[in-house]
Amino acid sequence: MKILRTPDSCFEGLADYPFAPHYTTIKTADGSDLRIHHLDEGDTDAPIILCMHGQPVWSYLYRKMIPLLVADGFRVIAPDLPGYGKSDKPATREDYSYNLQVDWMNAWLRANDLGGITFFGQDWGGLIGLRMIADNEERFERVVISNTGLPYNPDTPDDVVAEVEDFRANKPTPTLPEMMQALSGGARAQAIAFAYWQKFCWETEDLPAGFLLSMMTEQRSKLAMAIDFAFYRLGLRKLSPVRTALAKAYDAPFPDNSYKMGPRAMPSQVPTMKTSPSLAAQAKAWEFFSQYQKPFLCAFGDDDPVSKGGDLPFLDRVPGTAGQPHTTIKGGGHFVQEDNPKELCQVIAAFIRANS
């Protein structure tokens, strides 16, 4: 397996990211060494909160939450998924699958011998982390999820499958505005809407992670956004005179396009249809959670069209959700860690103490 490693120099001078790196090397199925980075902040004897990120971000997403949770008496561990952040980056599309990411993170978890964990996951952090819990039940005591899911769609209509497959194989790459319109409800089925994101990510070699996060999470003037968008349209977004520190930080792991295979490939691995290669593993995970008695909390944002309603299957099927104070995070878009970290930290801390 060809594996890339982002030079440390790419991460110099990041705003609000003073955390020391920690590294764990695991073996892949072909015997390659894969180095996974994580943050580990707080007293080593304090209760552990494992915070997992999604796509196209990295542990920088938790920079606002970590100081709050540590000050509240917790130890926070935040890994970078392989392909993201300071972790190694397998270089080809075939290196990335849902099942492989679960295998790699299971190996990381066991190598670090973590236990007594409260899990928090959002986006792909939830998809991968929930499978880790099913595979390592004894290491986890509580679960909090936000804007994520455990997709399992064994009954996708054949016409939807055909439409998605035709769109992904034959239609032009959607523009950024077209993709955003589809995700906001402009397509007739969820699988079709999400196919716009899948196709946009896979066919955009220079996936603009920093620009996307700035657009989604920062409050900026219309003029600044217009200037940034103009530079993006010209293929010169990194030269924008109004490019923000946040945008630079989310671009930092990717010094050139060869490092971006993880963020480009992973959306296509979301099992939105019955043809997904991870369908059997998802079914097994749902069998596990349908009997899961440990405390389980949903804290979804109030303004995320991608995951809207994603809490309902858990509330309906997971016994551990009963009687818990499920919360809607106000002002929380898809990346609630950026949009309202204070309320999210308060919700997590209160949940842990109420279920200690």
Q: Which residues are catalytic?
A: 123, 304, 334
Sequence-distant (≥ 6) Cβ neighbours of residue 236 within 8 angstroms: none
SS (H, E, C) the chain: CCEECCCHHHHCCCCCCCCCCEEEEEECCCCCEEEEEEEEECCCCCCEEEEECCCCCCHHHHCCHHHHHHHCCCEEEEECCCCCCCCCEECCHHHCCHHHHHHHHHHHHHHHCCCCEEEEEECHHHHHHHHHHHHCHHHEEEEEEECCCCCCCCCCCHHHHHHHHHHHHHCCCCCHHHHHHHHHHHCCCHHHHHHHHHHHHHHCCCCCHHHHHHHHHCCCCHHHHHHHHHHHHCCCHHHCCCCCHHHHHHHCCCCCHHHCHHHHHHHHHCCCCCCCCCHHHHHHHHHHHCCCCCCEEEEEECCCCCCCCCCHHHHHHCHHHCCCCCEEECCCCCCHHHHCHHHHHHHHHHHHHHCC
